[in-house]
Structure formats: structure tokens, C-alpha cells
């Protein structure tokens, strides 16, 4: 009798704890129930959202390779981003040098297999979000710039399969199985990659594994700006381009750490916000955020706001 009562009490207690937990983290518990829900319907079904169809273009190659030279027209768009003084011929020669050093990234067509991505931005809304297990659970975990995991594992997870960086900040990546995804904004950035590869600043840890250093195709950046953002802003933020990149790499995309924190500030989850003004620089932060919401509404991404 007393054993029965104990069991009953235990079960009641457990239910209570679960209810409280679900109450406080409705989104998270919902997602747990839907773990591994990727059935490849998400982006490949024929009845996808018309808005999405007019934006998504699978034939735009996300990464540079010897196989997808950009046209002079695309180069002329790209060279204006940071006032590149080099001409098209110089650019092409530089790309040729680059791919004598770097292997072209392997073709990674989705091949019918369903791949899931976590895209982890750096917003302060990740503080206290408890998304760690959910982020780590996806096949690819893409982090941006300095987005760190040490000390924040519970909220942001531990795995990093891809780290997106601006070339000059890409030195000393310690992990030897993380893909480095570099966003070049001018020919000089490509020259930096060549130099850094030669001196071992990047790629040293990666030398035994091919294709771990990936360079984003300028044409892809143009596509994000023109098609996804309707040319709003000078050019897209790295965070937004990374999100579109994830849509190209994965059939199911989980988006974390974008937008403001619960106070409405644009802060980083690992540091105190010093600049209290919304810093979107040359980017159209509000417009980009609107597109993310639209993607979430049309169920092309799952967007976790952290609060
Ligand atoms: C998709 O991208 C390819 C390659 O850049 C281009 O040739 C094609 O016109 C694009 N399709 C649409 C519908 O914009
Ligand atoms: C791209 O350019 C390289 C070097 O100029 C050349 O070897 C290659 O054939 C070109 N590829 C295409 C598809 O035009
Ligand atoms: C990278 O590592 C080298 C050698 O360990 C060191 O001299 C350099 O200061 C480091 N650079 C950065 C940016 O941490
Ligand atoms: C990567 O690093 C781990 C531990 O630091 C090491 O055991 C492994 O052999 C390395 N792999 C390659 C391909 O260098
Ligand atoms: C965040 O925004 C609020 C206003 O919404 C402001 O009062 C507060 O000082 C901001 N916090 C920081 C750290 O800037
Ligand atoms: C906008 O871009 C230009 C050119 O790259 C740069 O000089 C300027 O500092 C940028 N402005 C902001 C606010 O980042």
C-alpha cells in the first residue's frame, strides 16, 4: 500500500515538474516532441509557398570553385561593396591562384537525404534560452564570427561543424574538423586567404582534410541581396547571408540567436552591451528580420526567439 502511494506521489510530482517545465519553455518542449521531424517535405515538396519559390534558387552555387567563375557583371556588383580597385582580370587571376592552394569544396548535392541545420546567431536572446541540446542535435551546426560555446553550452550547445568568418579574423581556428566558411568582400580578402593558407595561419589544422576551408561565391551574395532582400541596404549582413546559405545546405533549418534580446537590444550573448544604439551599419536589419519572420511563417525555417 505504502509502495503504491509512493509511486503515485512520485508520478504526480513528475507530472507537476513536466507541466511547469512546459509552461516555462513551451517552444522548447514542443521542439523536443518534434525532434527529427525532418521528412524532406520542408523545402522540396511541390506545393511550397509561392513567395518562397520566387526567392529560392537552387542553381546559385553557394561556394566558389574552379567550376563556377563569376561573370564580369556579377564582379562589378561585388567590387562596389567595399570599393575594390582591382579589375576583373586581376580578380580571376587571384581566384586561379587560390584554387591552386585550396581544393574546391566537394559537390554536396542534397542527394535525397534529409539534412538538418542549426544556424546560431550571436544575439543576447540566447542567454538563458536552454537551446543547447536542440542546437547540437542537428546535422550541421553553423556559428558566426566569435560566437563561442565555452561557458554557454546549456544555451548554445557544444558542436560547431561550420564557422562563418570574415577572412582576416579567421586565424587560429583550433578545431581541425570545423569547416571555415569565409565571406570575401573584395579581391584583397582573397589575397589574404592565399597568404594565410601559405603561411599556415588558416588551413594548417585542416591540411589533412580536404575542403574544410570554403569561400562564399560573390554571385551568391548578389543573389541574397537582390532576390532575398529586394536590394534593400547596401549589402546583406553576414548573419542573413548565413541563414540563406543554410537554406541551400539543409532541408530543415533551425534558426537561433537572431534579432534583439528580450529588452529589445542588439546584444551578444557572451558580453555586456556597451553600445546601446541599434547597430545595423550598412545593413537593413529591420528588413532582414522581416524576411526571417516570413520564412518562419511559410515554415521554411523554424525560428527560435529565445523568449
Ligand atoms: C537561378 O540561378 C541561375 C544561376 O545563377 C540563373 O541562371 C537563373 O536564371 C536563376 N533563376 C531564376 C528564376 O532567377
Ligand atoms: C574558370 O576559370 C579558370 C581559370 O581561368 C578556368 O581554368 C576554368 O576553365 C573556368 N571555368 C569555367 C566553367 O569557365
Ligand atoms: C595565432 O597564433 C599565433 C601562434 O600561436 C600567435 O602568434 C598569434 O598571435 C595568434 N593570433 C591571434 C589573432 O590570436
Ligand atoms: C584532430 O584533432 C584531434 C585531437 O586534437 C586528433 O586526435 C585528430 O587526429 C586530428 N585529426 C586530424 C585529421 O588532424
Ligand atoms: C536595453 O534596452 C532598454 C530599453 O528597451 C534600455 O533601457 C537598456 O538600458 C538597454 N540595455 C543595455 C544594456 O543597453
Ligand atoms: C559602410 O560601408 C563603408 C564602405 O565599406 C564603410 O566605410 C562604412 O564605415 C560603413 N558604415 C558603417 C556604419 O558600417
**Range 173-208 burial, b when 16+ CB lie within 10 A, else e:** beeeebbbbbbbbbbbbbbbbbebbeeebbbebbee
Ligand 5 centroid–CA 30 distance in Å is 30
Q: Are residues 108 and 10 in the same domain?
A: no
Choose one of 59, 65, 68, 69 to mutate for the ligand 2 pocket test, by most ligand atoms within 8 angstroms of C-beta.
69
Q: Are residues 15 and 93 in the same domain?
A: no
Identify whether residues 152 and 239 lie together within a single domain.
yes
| Total domains, the chain | 2
Do 82 and 135 fall within a single domain?
Answer: yes
Which ranges of the chain would DSSP assign to H, the alpha helix?
A: 2-24, 26-33, 50-55, 72-78, 88-101, 132-137, 153-156, 187-199, 218-223, 238-249, 285-297
252 and 297: one domain? yes
Q: Which domain holds residue 206?
A: 36-304
Q: Are 5 and 131 contained in the same domain?
A: no
Identify whether residues 26 and 46 lie together within a single domain: no
283 is catalytic: yes
- Do 18 and 155 fall within a single domain? no
d(CA 284, CA 263): 20
In this structure, are 86 and 115 located in the same domain? yes
Burial profile 89-119: b = 16 or more Cβ within 10 angstroms, e = fewer: eebeebbeebbeebebbeeeeeeeebbbbbb
Q: Are residues 117 and 2 part of one domain?
A: no
Q: Do 115 and 27 reside in the same domain of the chain? A: no
Q: 171, 173, 202: which to mutate for ligand 3, most atoms within 8 A of CB?
A: 171
Distance 143 CA to ligand 3 centre (A): 21
Sign of CA dihedral 78, 82, 83, 87: negative
Classify the C-alpha dihedral 89-90-95-98 as positive or negative: positive
Q: What is the CATH number of the domain that holds 186?
A: 3.90.1480.20
Q: Are residues 4 and 146 in the same domain?
A: no
Q: What is the pLDDT along the chain (307 residues), one digit of tens a residue?
A: 455 556 445 444 444 443 334 333 333 333 333 334 455 555 455 557 899 999 999 999 999 988 888 999 999 999 999 999 999 999 999 999 999 888 766 655 545 568 999 999 999 999 999 999 999 999 999 999 989 999 999 999 999 999 999 888 776 665 677 888 999 999 999 999 998 888 877 766 655 455 688 999 999 999 999 999 999 988 999 999 999 999 999 999 999 999 988 877 788 999 887 765 655 556 778 899 999 999 999 888 999 998 7
Amino acid at each position: 500500500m505504502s509502495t503504491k502511494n509512493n509511486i503515485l506521489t512520485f508520478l504526480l510530482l513528475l507530472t507537476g515538474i513536466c507541466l511547469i517545465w512546459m509552461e516555462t519553455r513551451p517552444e522548447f518542449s514542443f521542439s523536443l516532441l518534434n525532434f527529427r521531424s525532418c521528412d524532406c517535405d520542408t523545402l522540396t515538396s511541390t506545393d511550397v509557398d509561392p513567395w518562397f519559390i520566387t526567392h529560392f534558387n537552387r542553381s546559385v552555387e553557394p561556394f566558389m570553385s574552379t567550376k563556377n567563375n563569376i561573370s564580369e557583371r556579377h564582379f562589378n556588383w561585388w567590387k562596389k561593396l567595399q570599393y575594390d580597385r582591382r579589375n576583373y582580370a586581376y580578380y580571376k587571376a587571384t581566384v586561379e591562384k587560390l584554387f591552386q592552394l585550396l581544393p574546391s569544396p566537394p559537390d554536396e548535392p542534397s542527394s535525397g537525404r534529409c539534412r538538418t541545420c542549426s544556424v546560431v546567431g550571436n544575439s543576447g536572446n540566447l542567454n538563458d534560452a536552454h537551446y543547447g541540446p536542440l542546437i547540437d542535435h542537428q546535422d550541421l551546426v553553423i556559428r558566426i564570427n566569435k560566437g563561442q560555446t565555452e561557458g554557454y553550452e546549456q544555451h548554445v550547445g557544444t558542436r560547431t561543424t561550420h564557422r562563418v568568418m570574415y577572412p582576416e579574423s579567421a586565424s587560429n581556428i583550433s578545431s581541425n574538423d570545423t569547416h571555415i566558411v569565409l565571406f570575401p568582400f573584395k579581391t584583397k580578402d582573397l589575397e589574404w586567404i592565399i597568404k594565410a593558407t601559405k603561411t599556415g595561419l588558416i588551413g594548417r589544422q585542416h591540411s589533412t582534410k580536404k575542403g574544410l576551408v570554403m569561400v562564399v561565391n560573390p554571385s551568391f551574395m548578389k543573389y541574397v541581396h537582390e532576390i532575398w532582400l529586394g536590394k534593400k541596404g547596401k549589402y546583406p549582413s553576414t548573419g542573413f547571408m548565413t541563414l540563406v546559405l543554410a537554406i541551400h545546405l539543409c532541408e530543415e533549418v533551425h534558426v537561433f540567436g537572431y534579432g534583439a534580446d528580450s529588452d529589445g537590444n542588439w546584444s551578444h550573448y557572451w558580453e555586456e552591451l556597451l553600445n546601446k544604439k541599434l547597430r545595423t551599419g550598412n545593413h537593413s536589419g529591420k528588413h532582414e528580420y522581416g524576411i526571417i519572420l516570413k520564412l518562419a511563417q511559410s515554415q521554411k525555417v523554424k525560428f527560435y526567439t529565445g523568449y
